Structure 1
Amino acid sequence: MRCNTYNLEELVNIKYGKNQKKIFSKTGTVPIYGTGGLIGYGTQYLYNKPSILIGRKGSIEKIRYVEHPFWTVDTLFYTEINTNLVIPLYLYYKILLIDLSKYNEGTTIPSLRTETLNKLQFEIPNIEDQLKIVSIIRPIDLKIENNQQINHNLEEQIKTLCNAWLSEFIPFKGSIPSDWSQIKLSDIADFIGGYSYTSSELTDSNIAMATIKNFERNGGFKLDGYKEIIPSSRIKPIHYIELFDLLVAHTDLTQNAEVIGNAEPVMSKSAYTDIIFSMDLVKVCPKKEISKFLIAALLQTKKFKAHCLGYVNGTTVLHLNKKALSEYTLMFPQNIGILKPLDDILTGLYMQIAQNIAEISTLTALRDTLLPKLMSGEIDVSAVEIGR
């Protein structure tokens, strides 16, 4: 596969994002992106053509490809791409293979400069070969995105069901049954603090540790947040977690408390033999006959998040008071069995989410194996026919 060498500045024009405050709106339809991902919606777009978004400060190692109108904040670059030389999606895949963290020029906060990015060199084949490579990789990404959308819909179903049962009491003709009463979360669950580790324990291993890095700012559990670790003899059995165990973030480095108080079930071990959880997290263990899925659904609500925010202290690093979980109150039946129909449905929905996540992991591994081989020419694409 014959290629020409270009500096990035020949392929794109790197543009700075802008402050989003003037265009931010709860009823907006234009996605607003920060270095951590989607942060809200606005009423105007900054750019409306295919673009690669690159972190200027913060999460500089993660890039994003968008084809819809969007806005980026001032810590995120966007790109105007020279489509005469390169297909936007092809260039995105090309940049994916680069470890941008190697070009960090920040001290306390990881940072990238346009001058440095512009000098990055890329071997670019002709447009036809670019199209062939994209035609192989893109369907895998689309399947991943489809599964992610299905999971989002399933999560919305969980929220709707729980609201109907536990807030609007629709199965009980809209009224709170007489045998329901307000209880504390500590009545139906125990809480276990995480493992206090040292940096020397972080090393290549088949054991991973869940941390606040696993928590998406807008909800969700990221598998790439796991840290490989060989824990010391101080580790206890209670610090290990099983599939579907529920974790709550007790620490937060974000300015707007976007992570603290978020509750996320562990939906995948990501091929690790064991998972432990760090001191930044607390494991919520259901008592009695209550399932992990019901507890998860009870805590993945705006009400629980708002409650936790009232127990936050700290400035640079936010901490959740230990009393936050035990003092959370909710309406609950004396006879837990009455919630079994809800529990059965929730179990099915969460299990489907887990299956989709497993498929996403498999597809991601396939894409990550194929991509460098396609880009280097190790896999010959000359015989690939592009669908019309």
Structure 2
Amino acid sequence: MAGEWGRVPLGSLAAEHDGAVAIGPFGSAMKSEVYVPSGVPVIRGTNISSDRELGGEWVYISEAFADAMPRCVVRAGDLVFPHRGSIGEVALVPSNRDRYFLSTSCMKITLDRQKADPRYVAYYFKSDAGRAEIMRFASQVGTPGIGQPLTSLRQFNLPAPPVYVQEAIADLLSHLDDKIDLNRRMAETLEGTIRTLFKSWFVDFDPVHAKIEGRPSDLSDELAALFSDSFGEDGLPSGWYRQKLTKFLTVTKGNSYKSVHLAPSQTALVTLKSFMRGGGYRADGLKSFTGPYKEAQIVKPGELIVAGTDVTQAAEVIGQPALVQADDRYSVLVASLDTFILRACSHAPWLWSLFLAEQGFPSFARGYTTGTTVLHLSPKVFDDFAFVVPSNSALIARAEQALGDIQARITHLSQESRVLAKLRDTLLPKLISGELRITEAERKVFA
């Protein structure tokens, strides 16, 4: 079947209007001075990843600036490829805004919808085969880049089944991605619930205030009885105290590595890119690794890590906690030099992640950073930071039990999404190559 479809250059699928294939403005026309607080978002390589959605830190230009360069404007359904930096990635422009704008490091193509479904083309170039096709045109000398970007873009080769087949493939894969997105939104809601409850109990001390004011609380009688009914002179609930972080957690610095060891492997580094802005884990931040490491630097799913470096303008990553997730592509995960591993002496790592996030560790950590463009976190921060905890250990244990039910649902959603993603990534090359028929794939998806 794949042979029946044949392969075509991407340029042959482009719309016929002027500017259907275009590159971002020259650097001299796109200096940082043109950025404004709000306006038309600029798609840069940092906004494009293996995820379906655009993300990362955004910059904006004025409407007038965009109007002056119409060829650099991108709209829903356009495909954007970095030609410098993040080579091998592709983004399908969403319909949530009227328009976006190309950065100097990106190029775009608008497809003729009678010839190609943009979703299908995006899925193809997100596959291993599609990414390899892009990399055929990339130079790895110095900063990764594609020479003669627009000529290369037009020459990108891909299988071209009939449009109705493209639509069927895209519909099927989108169904899986929609379910993954739904799971992510549900997990985010549950994570918000956990953080709200934790903050109420261990930061705002709402159950203590309720007792003092004679108000009923929403807690079970068993849990409510574990909270005190007064505050001490230090402003903490009676029987609560400040205790050093290192009383509860051991700290291990991640592994230093050389770029020569970033090569295909069953081992991967958990890197700075594994942290979301504001905390949390990003599954696309791993880097295959072949170099040496220590046993203590291996991290397992569910373990707690903290970002030790930051390159964001607003220091949104430094000191942020994240919980490592399993990845079926790798048998071993190793913390990189950008991270610290925090291992719990008692209680679950996810509970200590809440203590860190809600009791102010990230803001405290900023006082222990050095550097300007790149921030580095001093390990001394872990010796100096203290948690606010109850002397009654039964309270922490009971709270862990109560919140653990919600955490278990979050973990289940994450595991289900991982299974769905694996199914999508397994079906993708088989569907695109024609090895697997749509009806056979539908049986696997809807079984």
Report the TM-score range of the alignment, normalised by the length of the smaller protein. Answer: 0.7 to 0.9
Moved more, 128-137 or 300-309: 300-309
Distance (Å, rounded) in 2 between the aligned partners of 1:249 and 1:138 = 33
Structure 2 partner of 1:238:
296
| Deviation readout 1:322-379 (Å, 9 max, x if unpaired) | 1122222342222232233432233333333332222222222222222222222222
User: Shift of the alpha carbon at 1:321?
Assistant: 0.9
Structure 2: which amino acid aligns with 1:104? A
User: Shift of the alpha carbon at 1:32?
Assistant: 6.7
The gaps in structure 1 that reach 5 residues or longer are: none
Please point out which of 188, 192, 196 is paired with 1:160. Answer: 196
| Deviation readout 1:11-69 (Å, 9 max, x if unpaired) | 253453877842439xxxx9775433323577989655233332344323222334323
SS in 2 for 1:332: strand
Change (3 A) 1:67 1:199: closer
Question: Are the aligned partners of 2:203 and 2:358 in contact in 1 as well (CA < 8 Å)?
Answer: no
Question: Are the aligned partners of 1:53 and 1:63 in contact in 2 as well (CA < 8 Å)?
Answer: yes
Normalising by structure 1, what TM-score?
Answer: 0.82
Please point out which of 92, 103, 110 is paired with 2:137. Answer: 103
Structure 2 partner of 1:189:
249
User: Shift of the alpha carbon at 1:154?
Assistant: 2.2
Question: Are the aligned partners of 1:55 and 1:62 in contact in 2 as well (CA < 8 Å)?
Answer: yes
Distance (Å, rounded) in 2 between the aligned partners of 1:319 and 1:181 = 30
Structure 1 partner of 2:170:
134
Higher helix proportion: 2
Q: How does 1:33-52 map to 2 (within 5 A)?
A: 34-37=44-47, 38-39=55-56, 47-52=74-79
Structure 1 residue 248 corresponds to structure 2 residue 306: yes
Higher strand proportion: 1
Distance (Å, rounded) in 2 between the aligned partners of 1:290 and 1:52 = 47
Distance (Å, rounded) in 1 between the aligned partners of 2:348 and 2:270 = 21
Normalising by structure 2, what TM-score?
Answer: 0.72
Change (3 A) 1:55 1:162: farther
Change (3 A) 1:4 1:188: closer
User: Shift of the alpha carbon at 1:253?
Assistant: 4.5
Structure 1 residue 5 corresponds to structure 2 residue 8: yes
Distance (Å, rounded) in 1 between the aligned partners of 2:330 and 2:360 = 33
Rg larger in 1 or in 2? Answer: 2
Structure 1: which amino acid aligns with 2:56? I
User: Shift of the alpha carbon at 1:133?
Assistant: 1.7
Please point out which of 131, 137, 160 is paired with 1:124. Answer: 160
Percent identity reads: 25
Change (3 A) 1:155 1:40: farther
Structure 2: which amino acid aligns with 1:152? E
Moved more, 306-315 or 172-181: 172-181
Q: CA RMSD in A?
A: 3.5
Number of aligned residue pairs: 378
The gaps in structure 2 that reach 5 residues or longer are: 15-19, 48-54, 67-72, 211-230, 443-447
Change (3 A) 1:249 1:370: same
Structure 2: which amino acid aligns with 1:125? P
Q: How does 1:313-332 map to 2 (within 5 A)?
A: 313-315=370-372, 317-332=374-389
SS in 2 for 1:153: helix
